[in-house]
Homo-oligomer: A and B are copies of this chain.
Amino acid sequence: MSPRKFFHPDAAALTLHRILFALSDPTRLAVVSELKDGAERASGDLLAESVPRSTMTHHLKILREAGVTRTRPEGMRCLISLRRDDVDARFPGLLEAILAHGHSG
């Protein structure tokens, strides 16, 4: 009955090339774009119609382990949000520049 646990790297442990890699995939870029307003969204609501669950789990794990997103269990679901404060503190302007463009490129 232990509650679900998710590994999140410390803010100081974020590396630029890992973050850039996490954002170098169109699917993950689309996920991040859906989170750019700062709100939490349930995992199952992200691109639900176009991406199978196991594939989405894989992408969310890469984003989370790179330090780009935070995953918080809430009942049966998982709420995903951007770690905007931590990323901004370490790489100022990076997320802003990436999110400004949406994900059409």
Report A's interface with B, CB cutoff 8 A.
14-18, 20-21, 23-26, 29, 90-94, 96-98, 100-101, 103, 105
Report the separation of the CA atoms of residues A15 and B101 in the bound assembly, to the nearest whole angstrom: 10
Tell me whether A20 and B23 are in contact (CB under 8 A): yes
Tell me whether A97 and B93 are in contact (CB under 8 A): yes
How many copies, total? 2
Tell me whether B105 and A100 are in contact (CB under 8 A): no
Chain B residue nearest in CB terms to A26: B17
Chain B residue nearest in CB terms to A18: B24
Tell me whether B14 and A105 are in contact (CB under 8 A): yes
Please list 11 pairs of residues, one from A and one from B, whose beta carbons are closer than 8 Å in the complex, sorted by A's number. A17-B24, A20-B21, A20-B29, A24-B24, A91-B97, A91-B100, A92-B97, A93-B93, A94-B98, A96-B97, A97-B97
Report the separation of the CA atoms of residues A21 and B101 in the bound assembly, to the nearest whole angstrom: 16
A24 — which chain B residues lie within 8 A by C-beta? 17-18, 20-21, 24
Interface centre among A24, A90, A103 (most CB of B within 10 A): A24
